[in-house]
């Protein structure tokens, strides 16, 4: 069985420039070893658990970036197990432009779900099906559950049929903490790229960390700008669903 842990960063609200869903997946047997390695790394930082936005707020800039770099090194040790990362970011200025032209456009969160959960990688046939975990307070959980159940009813052959269940879990889960790190890095980097007033040093540091995250494990990612949003909308409009028996 495949296990995937997912978390989000940002939301479709005026104060945000982007919304991101990100996560990590690996065979069920990989996660106990990952948990031990992650816990040891977090404890070496003098912490009990990791939450990226909180650590960014309370740590010095240098300490924060060093900590993130060390945690990404832990994740990279599991690249060949194999472990796969997923990131889907919707650029909200482009989304609002497209929504004005296409009022029936799917929610920004639904695009993220398609970009991540719709691209799950199963290393072997024994890894099918997958169980997907979200933090129990994660707003994306209700969004993906709705998309998943709807697609199960609409399509005979679809990624939704490869998922056995979508379950809430606690923040203490190491996979959730790692997914939070990937979501925060992706969202922050894409937002900084589009800020004219963003300090160059901060932008460069985020680019370095994002590249480290990208290459730490096998990556699957999508940034939905205007063209990709419209293309996704047209693909969905042009699809011919079949009613599941």
Residue 66, token pair as written in the block: 């060093």
Say yes or no: domain 7-233 is CATH 3.30.420: yes
DSSP state, residue 161: G
Q: With 0.75 as the threshold, say if the pTM is over it.
A: yes
Residue 2 in contact with residue 122, Cβ under 8 Å?
A: yes
Rounded distance, CA 215 to CA 162, Å? Answer: 26
The pLDDT of residue 145 is: 73
Q: Which pLDDT band, with edges at 50, 70 and 90, does 245 fall under?
A: very low
With b meaning 16 or more CB within 10 Å and e meaning fewer, what string describes 96-116? Answer: eebbeeeeebbbbbbbbbbbb
Domain ranges of the chain: 7-233
- Reference 143, options 116, 180, 181; nearest CA is 116
Rounded distance, CA 34 to CA 5, Å? Answer: 12
**Directed axis angle between helix 31-44 and helix 174-193, to 10°?**
70
Sign of CA dihedral 24, 30, 31, 34: negative
Please report, for residues 128, 188, 196, 203, 236, the alpha-carbon distance to residue 193 in angstroms, rounded to integers and kept in the order given.
Answer: 37, 9, 8, 7, 29
Rounded distance, CA 46 to CA 37, Å? Answer: 15
DSSP state, residue 47: -
Residue in the block written with tokens 């129990």:
136
- Reference 216, options 102, 68, 92, 103; nearest CA is 68
Q: pLDDT tens digits for 143-171? A: 677 777 777 777 666 677 788 888 889 88
- Name beta bridge partners: 218: 84
Q: pLDDT tens digits for 180-223? A: 999 999 999 999 988 888 888 888 899 999 999 999 999 999 99
Residue 88 has pLDDT above 60, yes or no: yes
Average pLDDT over residues 120-132: 91
Query: What phi and psi values does residue 69 have, to the nearest 5 degrees?
Result: -60, -40
The pLDDT of residue 241 is: 45
Rounded distance, CA 50 to CA 86, Å? Answer: 19
The helix/strand/coil state of 167 is strand
């Amino acid at each position: 069985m495949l296990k995937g842990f997912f978390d989000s960063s940002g939301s479709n609200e005026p104060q945000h420039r982007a919304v991101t869903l990100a996560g990590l997946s690996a065979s069920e047997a990989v996660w106990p070893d990952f948990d031990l390695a992650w816990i040891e790394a977090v404890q070496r930082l003098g912490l009990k658990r990791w939450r990226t936005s909180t650590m960014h707020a309370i740590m010095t800039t240098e300490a924060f970036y060093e900590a993130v770099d060390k945690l990404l090194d832990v994740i990279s040790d599991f690249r060949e197990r194999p472990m796969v990362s997923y990131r889907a970011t919707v650029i909200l200025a482009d989304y609002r432009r497209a929504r004005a032209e296409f009022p029936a456009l799917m929610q920004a969160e639904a695009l993220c779900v398609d970009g991540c959960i719709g691209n799950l990688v199963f290393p072997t046939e024994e890894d099918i099906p997958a169980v997907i975990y979200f933090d129990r307070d994660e707003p994306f959980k209700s969004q993906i559950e709705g998309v998943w159940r709807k697609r199960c009813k609409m399509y005979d052959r679809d990624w939704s049929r490869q998922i056995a269940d979508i379950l809430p879990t606690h923040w203490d889960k190491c996979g959730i903490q790692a997914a939070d790190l990937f979501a925060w890095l992706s969202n922050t980097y894409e937002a900084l790229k589009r800020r004219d007033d963003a300090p160059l040093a901060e932008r460069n540091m985020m680019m370095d960390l994002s590249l480290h995250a990208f290459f730490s494990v096998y990556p699957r990612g999508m940034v939905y700008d205007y063209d990709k949003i419209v293309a996704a909308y047209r693909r969905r409009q042009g699809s011919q669903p079949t009613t599941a028996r």
